[in-house]
Amino acid sequence: MRAAIAILAVIAVAAAAALLVALAGGGSSDDNARAPLPGEPSVAIVSPRNGARQTNRAVVVKARIQNFTLAPQHFGGEPQLGEGSIRFALNRVPDCVYPSKLQRAEESPLGRGRLVGASFDFPQYSGPNGILAERIGASGSYSPATRPEIYYHDLRAGFYRLVVTLARNNGATTPYHAVTNFQILPRPGHGPKCAAGKVSSAKAAAFD
C-alpha cells in the first residue's frame, strides 16, 4: 500500500513539473513556444511556413495579428495602447563559416544559437517598405509596415530567417514577435562550395 502511494506521489509531482514547463514554454526551442494569454497581442506568420523550400527568388510574407490594431494614421506618433505597426526583418544565413564562429553563435546566450547574416531590408529588396525604412533610418535593420504583409524580391539562393515584431506607433518594439526560416534553392549544380577550413552554416538556420 505504501509503495502504491509513493508511486502515485511521484507521478503527481512529475505531472505538475511537466505542466509548469509547458506553461513556461520550456518544452520547445522555437521562438514562438509560449502561447499568448487571453486578450494578449500576438503575431503569427502565415507564409512562408517554417522550413519552406522554394525556387522562386521572391517571397510574399503574410502575418496574422490578434488583439493589436495596425494604425497607419498614427505611424511615427505617440504610443497608444494596443496599436502600432510591424517590423519585418529578413536576414540571409551565411553559406560557409569557420567552425569556431559557428560554435560561438551556438553557445552565445544572446544569439539563440543562430548566425544573423546579411540584411535584406533595403529598398532594392523590400520595395516600398524598404523606402520607408530608409526614410526613418532603419535600412538594414528592419522594414516597417502598417499592413500584415510584405513583398521581398531579388533574393539569392540560401537560407533565410525572418522575424516579425509588433511595434508601437513610435517604432519601439514590443515583446510580441514570430520567427520563420525558409530556403531558396539554388539552380542544379550552382550550390555553394565551402573553402578549405569552412563548414556549411545551414544548420544555423534552425529549421525545426
Q: Would you place residue 35 in the very low, low, confident or very high pLDDT band (cuts 50, 70, 90)?
A: confident
Q: Would you place residue 132 in the very low, low, confident or very high pLDDT band (cuts 50, 70, 90)?
A: very high
Round to whole Å and give the CA distance between 164 and 156: 20
| Residue linked to cell 569556431 | 100
Q: Would you place residue 102 in the very low, low, confident or very high pLDDT band (cuts 50, 70, 90)?
A: low
* Residue 197 · residue 98 · CB < 8 Å: yes
- Comparison of pLDDT for 85 and 38, the residue scoring more: 85
Question: CA geometry: angle at 186 spanning 184 and 189, to 5°?
Answer: 165
| Mean pLDDT calculated for residue range 148-174 | 95
* Residue 198 · residue 116 · CB < 8 Å: no
Q: Would you place residue 98 in the very low, low, confident or very high pLDDT band (cuts 50, 70, 90)?
A: confident
* Residue 75 · residue 133 · CB < 8 Å: no
pLDDT recorded at residue 95: 78
pTM: 0.74
> Whole-number mean pLDDT of the chain?
79
pLDDT recorded at residue 180: 92
Round to whole Å and give the CA distance between 116 and 141: 11
| Mean pLDDT calculated for residue range 72-80 | 95
Round to whole Å and give the CA distance between 16 and 14: 5
16-34 residue pLDDT tens: 333 333 333 333 334 544 6
Round to whole Å and give the CA distance between 46 and 62: 5
Beta-strand (E) ranges in 10-105?
A: 42-47, 52-54, 59-66, 69-70, 83-92, 96-97
Round to whole Å and give the CA distance between 115 and 101: 9
Round to whole Å and give the CA distance between 92 and 208: 17
Q: Would you place residue 167 in the very low, low, confident or very high pLDDT band (cuts 50, 70, 90)?
A: very high
Average the pLDDT over each of 1-10, 48-57, 108-117, 190-199 and give the range with the smallest value. 1-10
Strands 158-167 and 83-92: antiparallel
| Mean pLDDT calculated for residue range 69-96 | 94
- What percent of the chain is predicted at pLDDT more than 70? 70
pLDDT recorded at residue 106: 58
Q: Considering only CA atoms, which of 117, 198, 121, 103 is closest in space to residue 161?
A: 117
